[in-house]
A and B are shown apart, each in its own frame.
Chain A
Amino acid sequence: MTAALEVIEAPAKAIEGRSPVLLAMRRLRRDKVAMISLVVIVLIVLMAIFAPVVAAITGHPPNEQYRQIGLTPDGLPRGPNGTFWFGTDDLGRDVLVRIAYGARISLLVGVAATAITVVIGVVLGLAAGFLGGIVDTILARLIDVVLSVPFLLVAIALVSITGPSLSITVLVIGFFSWASVARIVRGQVLSLREREFVEAARSLGAGDTRIMFVDVLPNVLAPVIVYTTLLIPVVIVTQATLSFLGLGLPPPTADWGGMISESQNYYTTAWWFILFPGIALLITTLAFNLFGDGVRDAFDPRADRLR
């Protein structure tokens, strides 16, 4: 009997408890749509990283204006052909190369602004929910204020003061997005802090900071991860919107929103000029959104448990 038990127990040595995040990853791996989206995201990332390679293959640097071969005699953009696969823009630049370089901006802003958003949102949400009292009152009102500020108007005003730049774009987006993360985290923490394991930690002598980051934070990680993956496409679109309105990056930097904006006067004659940057933006946000949906389903406790 004991021998049999030992045989059964033997593999337990190797088995580590599977963390909820690990279980979610396993579920995610079985989600076909999410996995295809992930492949698309990886391809876009590769395109951004290897944008200089794209430039080298076509032989066209992103900001080089081919006024002779890139424009028609009337000075209009040329359509897709053997030299310019995706056509040229109004200044005779290669649209394909500029899309590749534009991916760098979109992803950089997407990741950087999301990171700022999540860090500020999580820390302030934790503090508000856990510490309560006056801290909570002040932070909760601040969240309401930030959420009710008309984002675009303030962004336009701010950029007109400081001038367009990459860092101001990231900061503006980060500053206006943290409040919704903080609100989600605060709500979760409000219920978590009443749980007995928090009381248990207190009875062991743990201080507030330790309880917040060691005991409470891991429990809000799942919704934060889900929200983060769904926030990236929103940030990318926001950045494109700001660029479209002329609040993005100073020319001649290539970025998708800016390209779509420049194409406005040509959409009747040069369909490729608006179509390809638009498709790039669409595919990217769609891939991130579908992947985010997959992540949300994977973290959903009602989903089938993988055993």
Chain B
Amino acid sequence: MTEASTEPQPLLRVQDVRKEFPTHRGEVVRAVDGVSLEVRKGETLGLVGETGCGKSTLARCIAHLYDVTSGSVWFDGNELTGLSRRAMRPLRREIQMIFQDPYGSLNPRRRVGSIIGDPFAIHGISKGAERKKRVQELMELVGLNPEHYNRFPSDFSGGQRQRIGVARALALRPKLVICDEPVSALDVSIQAQIINLLADLQKDFDLTYVFISHDLSVVRHVSDRIAVMYLGKLIEVSPTDQLFEQTRHPYTRALLSALPVADPDTADSREQIILAGDIPSATNPPQGCRFHTRCPKARADCVASEPPLEPVFDDDPAHRTACFFPLTIGEDLSTAVPELVDLPDREAS
């Protein structure tokens, strides 16, 4: 699978990565099942999908928190796959993670100063007064009062805690920051503050983000490109505006239709696609296209084989879709009836 991108070298290249978890009953959960993607320096790649689709697992494979089952992850020209903990250490400084839960990701029994100072302590950079100064600079950078150095995480609000998490992630001046649902646990008003903070920091420090969320409106706001995941696979990857204007995959369309709209008139008239059923089990994913069990356009072909992720119609090479029957612009999906028998008249549309 070759990326159509003409960029010299992507900062991050994920190649056919699979991650399987064994279960107690001897089955295997295929959390990530053959994902390939590239992230260019300085861009923000949004990664969206329902809960349980493998977004977070993919993030942890990239951050080398999990060993991949197969495939490879390349960062800045280095292959991370199979690196020992020791060999990984210098690269840890380049890839950092911001976690979803600002309550769970900060040790409740340690003072904020020592939490943010952890990266310095672990990598043996600066100590004593020098470290304290750097920690306080970081606190100021993310909008915290440096005087609160000696407080505990429980003394802070959710938004402030997430700022602490951001400060810790930025301490070593990483190149790539993986944001795993950084705002999902926050109030909407606080979400905007954190997103703006992340955007400012990206400009100031030339950061590259992989931004994971199940909230498409947040991802739309921050991302240059968006990758949509379903059951461990990418089903549509596209520049942000094209994903919204020329949605190709029925699943993406369904996700978009669930977005709240500010204007009630538009809200009433727009199409609503309600997907039937739950996301199937990753221990035993459906044959062929994994979405066929819930797809309004499913046909026999969708069960027979798996659609490749490639540009459809005359799309931009950067816009790739894994669907045999992609949507045309303006196609009405709300009236579509799932049929597992090929009907010529429907195929024409």
Contact = CB atoms under 8 A, between A and B. Distances in A.
A201 B109 contact: no
Given A197-B104, A204-B118, 8 more contacts: A18-B152, A20-B108, A199-B60, A201-B118, A203-B92, A205-B123, A206-B118, A218-B109
A17 B122 contact: no
B105 interface: yes
B122 A200 contact: no
Interface stretch (A8-16, A122-130, A238-246): A8-16
Given A197-B107, A200-B105, A17 B150 contact: yes
A17 B145 CA distance: 13
A209 B150 CA distance: 24
Given A197-B104, A200-B97, A205-B88, A12 B145 contact: yes
A13 B147 contact: yes
A218 B168 contact: no
B85 interface: yes
Interface in A19-56: 19-20
24 contacts: A12-B145, A12-B148, A16-B151, A17-B112, A17-B148, A17-B151, A18-B152, A19-B111, A20-B108, A196-B99, A196-B100, A199-B99, A200-B105, A201-B118, A203-B63, A203-B92, A203-B95, A204-B118, A204-B172, A206-B122, A215-B107, A218-B107, A219-B107, A221-B109
Interface of A: 9, 12-13, 15-20, 195-197, 199-207, 210, 214-215, 218-219, 221
B339 interface: no
Contacts of B105: 196-197, 199-200
B99 A200 contact: yes
A18 B63 CA distance: 34
A52 B20 CA distance: 70
Contacts of A18: 152
Given A196-B101, A199-B65, A205 B92 contact: yes
A298 to B, nearest CB: 16
B155 A17 contact: yes
B208 to A, nearest CB: 16
- The CB with the most chain B CB atoms within 10 A, among A205, A206, A218, is that of A205
Interface string B140-177: 00000101101110010000000001001000100000
A204 B152 contact: no
Contacts of A200: 97, 99, 105-106, 165, 168
A221 B107 CA distance: 13
B89 interface: yes
* Chain B: interface size category: 35 or more
B111 A205 contact: no
B93 interface: yes
B133 interface: no
Given A12-B147, A12-B148, A17-B155, A204 B109 contact: no
A210 B122 contact: yes
Nearest to A205: B92
A201 B107 CA distance: 9
A219 B92 contact: no
B57 interface: no
A199 B85 CA distance: 14
A203 B65 contact: yes
B110 interface: yes
Nearest to A12: B147
Contacts of A221: 109
B314 to A, nearest CB: 42
Contact of B152 (A19, A199, A205): A19
B93 A205 contact: yes
Contacts of B151: 15-17
Contacts of A210: 122
Contacts of B122: 201, 204-206, 210
B65 A207 contact: no
A12 B145 CA distance: 10
A20 B110 CA distance: 10
Nearest to B96: A203
A210 B65 CA distance: 16
B52 interface: no
B97 A203 contact: yes
B119 interface: yes
A219 B109 contact: yes
B47 to A, nearest CB: 17
Contacts of A12: 145, 147-148
A117 B128 CA distance: 35
Interface string B283-326: 00000000000000000000000000000000000000000000
A271 to B, nearest CB: 52
Nearest to A201: B118
B88 to A, nearest CB: 7
Contact of A207 (B85, B112, B165): B85
Contacts of B107: 197, 201, 215, 218-219
Contacts of B96: 203-204
A12 B147 CA distance: 7
A20 B107 CA distance: 12
Given A16-B150, A17-B111, A17-B150, A205 B89 contact: yes
Contacts of B60: 199
Contacts of A214: 110
A306 to B, nearest CB: 13
A13 B99 CA distance: 29
